[in-house]
Amino acid sequence: MIKWTNEKVENMLLSLDKGYRLLEIIREKKATFLFISCPQENHSPQKMNTRTFSKRIDEKIELCDQCAGRKHHHFDEVMPKEKLFHLYVEKNMSSTEIALKLGEGVTRQHINHLLRKYDIPRKQQQLNLPKPLQHRLPREKLYFHYVTERKSQIEIAKIYNENPASIKYLMQIYRIPARNSPEANKLRSLKYAKVNTGFFEKFSYEFFYVLGVFLSDGWRSGNLIGIQMTDNDVIEYIAKVIGYTGEIRTRKPRYGGKVNGKQIYGRKIIYEIQFRNFKVAQILNDWGLVERKSKKLLFPKIPKKFVGAFLRGFLDGDGSVIIEQQKNSKGTYKTKQFRLVFYTSSKQFRDSLCELLKKEYTITGGSGFEKESGKYYLSIGNKQSVYTLCRLLYKDINVFGMERKKKKIIYILDYQKSDKIPEYKRLSIDEVKIVKQLLNQGIPIVKIVKKLVAQHQPFTQLRLEEHIRIFLSKKVMISILVTYY
């Protein structure tokens, strides 16, 4: 290998005896170039690689192209990128045809050099021949199908009865950028959605009922949304109103074994629907159906008109309606005790629900945490609150609700018609403090009750005395006063 130095080049120039001088040596990754000045001042310096230089020195010919009469075509000016792209891609001309068009002295190698320089994809040798697909599918049509109509490469291939790989290659030739994976997945989820997207875009009683069920028993993972329940009537109703066209899957019951450390003796059949839709996933995410929602679920801002429908759906998903028969201490007086319970793994959701019911509808209840299930609950057992809540859930008795829970609520509403709830006056905080002081002084509870009845005429002595007979503890008596009055 020759080591090119200034002395080496100058000695070779002296051997040629033509008056050329070395100006500069440029060392690049792939080759070394020499700048040689011509003896004639009006000639520009000549740049050549060492291989060309050695060949011309050995043959003792002119180094200057102008002195030797060599031609420079200046392809960058004669054939700019736009013109070459038009001829080579859009008109589908070969490199040889373009070279002939430029005139004598231009070869297809010159054109191929420009193609590489302009980064225009080369066509294979057999593709230089006219192809029917390029005539049937010019760039304008392919752009219209792919960008305007938002069709996939597979769909376009089916239209023209071609292989999808041919459409992909044609897009590269036409310089039409392909969609990335996230964009393609979004478009696919909207095109092949198993649900009616319009249902989730409009406010309705049905939508907020479905939202309540999804926030209780539903889940979301990316664009994939699903819901599982043991009550097939709810699943079938949801599938109908959202326009679900997929299959309702069933899972066989589990017999025996442990789940989360608990012994399971038997389970019911689980019904499930799943669908993938980017737009619906975005809508439900804004309403609170986030991924792994259990412990971070927030109570959404529901318009007051639709609160009943939302709570009805949430109760059908994660709630209980309990009807019990109660007796007094003598075992003779019978009454019905009703309780509606909402369960959730999110403490924030439970507290927000409790505040909403108390502030807007004067519905009160007790809240707590179940260690066995690991869920927070809001239990509403006060009869007046239960009746108010039942009327809120079923303003119209004909609206849909889970069959087994709806029957119980209808029974409660029918029972209310013949049930007379006595009105009690609540004790103020100051009065409760006085009661505590009197109890601590040892004054009998009966005397305290008579004193309270004397001060508050609508106050019923029977109700307080009934508590006295049932509860003997002073602490329990105080908690009753605070809770019920």
Q: What is the DSSP string of 266-335?
A: ----EEEEEEE-HHHHHHHHHTT--TT-TTT-------GGGHHHHHHHHHHHHEEEEEEEEE-TTS--EE
Question: Amino acid identity, residue 316?
Answer: D
Task: Say which DSSP state 179 is in.
Answer: P
Q: What are the residue ranges spanned by the domains of the chain?
A: 6-68, 75-130, 133-178, 200-293, 314-418, 429-484
User: What pLDDT is attached to residue 133?
Assistant: 82
Which has more confidence, 47 or 259? 47
User: What pLDDT is attached to residue 43?
Assistant: 86
User: What pLDDT is attached to residue 416?
Assistant: 85
User: What pLDDT is attached to residue 277?
Assistant: 84
Q: Are 185 and 278 in contact (CB under 8 A)?
A: yes
User: What pLDDT is attached to residue 134?
Assistant: 81
pLDDT average, residue stretch 250-258: 65
Provide the Cα torsion 104, 105, 108, 111; round to 10°.
-100
> Dihedral of CA 251/257/259/264: which sign?
positive
- What is the distance between the alpha carbons of residues 249 and 278, in angstroms, rounded to a whole number? 22
User: What pLDDT is attached to residue 340?
Assistant: 93
Question: Amino acid identity, residue 471?
Answer: F
Terminal-residue alpha carbon distance, the chain: 106
- Residue 310 binned pLDDT confidence (cut-offs 50, 70, 90): very high
User: What pLDDT is attached to residue 482?
Assistant: 43
The answer to whether residue 469 scores a pLDDT higher than 60 is no
User: What pLDDT is attached to residue 476?
Assistant: 43
Per the prediction, the chain carries an average pLDDT of 81
User: What pLDDT is attached to residue 393?
Assistant: 93
What interhelical angle do 429-440 and 445-455 show, nearest 10? 150
User: What pLDDT is attached to residue 186?
Assistant: 73
Buried b (16+ CB within 10 A) or exposed e, 308-337: bbbbbbbbbbbbebeeeeeeeeeeeeeeee
User: What pLDDT is attached to residue 437?
Assistant: 80
| Of 114, 5, 28, 74, residue with least CA distance to 65 | 74
pLDDT average, residue stretch 348-369: 91
Q: Is 314-418 in the same CATH topology as 200-293? A: yes
The answer to whether residue 472 scores a pLDDT higher than 60 is no
Its CATH architecture, for the domain 200-293, is Roll (3.10)
- Residue 64 binned pLDDT confidence (cut-offs 50, 70, 90): confident
Distance of CA 45 to the CA centre of its chain: 64
Residues 6+ apart with CB under 8 A from 283: 200, 201
Query: Under the phi-then-psi rule, with left for phi > 0, alpha for psi from -120 to 50, and beta for the rest, what region is 476?
Result: alpha
The answer to whether residue 483 scores a pLDDT higher than 50 is no
Least confidently predicted of 257-261, 291-295, 408-412: 257-261
Question: Amino acid identity, residue 484?
Answer: Y
User: What pLDDT is attached to residue 147?
Assistant: 86
- What is the distance between the alpha carbons of residues 123 and 140, in angstroms, rounded to a whole number? 20
Largest CA distance in the chain: 137
Distances (CA, A) of 307 to 102, 121, 338, 395: 77, 61, 21, 11
- What is the distance between the alpha carbons of residues 34 and 25, in angstroms, rounded to a whole number? 5
The answer to whether residue 400 scores a pLDDT higher than 90 is yes
The answer to whether residue 28 scores a pLDDT higher than 90 is no
Give the pLDDT confidence of 446-468 residue by residue, as tens digits: 777 666 656 554 444 444 544 44
Q: Are 159 and 247 in contact (CB under 8 A)?
A: no
User: What pLDDT is attached to residue 470?
Assistant: 39
Question: Amino acid identity, residue 384?
Answer: Q
User: What pLDDT is attached to residue 429?
Assistant: 67
The answer to whether residue 358 scores a pLDDT higher than 80 is yes
pLDDT average, residue stretch 287-314: 92
Task: Please report how many Cα atoms fall inside a 13 Å half-sphere around the Cα of residue 356, on the Cβ side.
Answer: 20
User: What pLDDT is attached to residue 73?
Assistant: 61
User: What is the full DSSP assignment across 381-442?
Assistant: --HHHHHHHHHHHTSSTTS---HHHHHHHHHHHHHHHH--PPP-PPPPHHHHHHHHHHHHTT
Question: Look-up: residue for tokens 């792209």?
Answer: 85
Task: Say which DSSP state 119 is in.
Answer: T
- List the CATH code of the domain at 6-68: 3.30.920
User: What pLDDT is attached to residue 251?
Assistant: 78
pLDDT average, residue stretch 98-127: 78
The answer to whether residue 59 scores a pLDDT higher than 50 is yes
Q: Are 20 and 10 in contact (CB under 8 A)?
A: no
Q: Tokens at residue 153, please? A: 């490469």
Q: Which residues pair with 340 in a beta bridge?
A: 321, 380
- What is the distance between the alpha carbons of residues 220 and 228, in angstroms, rounded to a whole number? 12
Q: What is the pTM of this model?
A: 0.56
> Class of 314-418 per CATH?
alpha beta
For the beta carbon of residue 432, count every other beta carbon within 10 angstroms: 15
- What is the distance between the alpha carbons of residues 402 and 212, in angstroms, rounded to a whole number? 13
User: What pLDDT is attached to residue 236?
Assistant: 93
Provide the Cα torsion 268, 270, 271, 272; round to 10°.
170
- In the chain, the percentage of residues whose pLDDT exceeds 90 is 24
